[in-house]
Amino acid sequence: MQKFHEYFMRLALREAQRSAEEGEVPAGCVIVEQPAPDTRLPAAVRVLGRAHNQTERLKDATAHAEMIALTQAAAAKGDWRLCDTILYVTKEPCPMCAGAIVLARVPLVVWGVSDPKRGGHTVFSILNHPGLNHRPQVVTGIQEAECLAVLQTFFRERRTRPNP
């Protein structure tokens, strides 16, 4: 399953790179249908949503990659319940996105790099909170070095640029 997860994390990394190119915090998200047990080829899996951060572009604090991808996936499925999906995201979801993931009933969340300061799971335990009716399985560290590099490069370049 590792290679399978890596394939879709690379798609999420492409989205994160688009964010960086647009001056957005580089986070990318891809949501796919859960494959049948005998499916080994990622190309046989349907992508339901893919997005990158667009908060600056849309002037919208909720325009995180996960929120946009969740909306796309719900539209593709014709249902807000995303019970048979896998969500891939380059950076651990924030509390807002983690809450939306729980509400959408996503059963598996896979991310590259954790966020020890603002992570919806590692800091706030939203994805495994006992008071919530849904708790997705979590897989972390997929393509971690690549996901971290995109973030570090973005913020390093941002610090070296003169303020407008």
Block residue for tokens 């995303």: 82
Distance CA 42, CA 26 (A): 24
Question: Smallest Cα–Cα separation from 136: which of 124, 147, 121, 123?
Answer: 121
Strand-by-strand arrangement of the 28-33 sheet: 47-52, 28-33, 85-91, 108-113, 137-140
- Whether 94 and 118 have beta carbons less than 8 Å apart is answered as yes
Contacts of 81 (CB under 8 A, 6+ apart): 104, 105
Element (H, E) at 110: strand 108-113
Which residues are known to be catalytic?
66
Question: Smallest Cα–Cα separation from 94: which of 52, 69, 64, 73?
Answer: 64
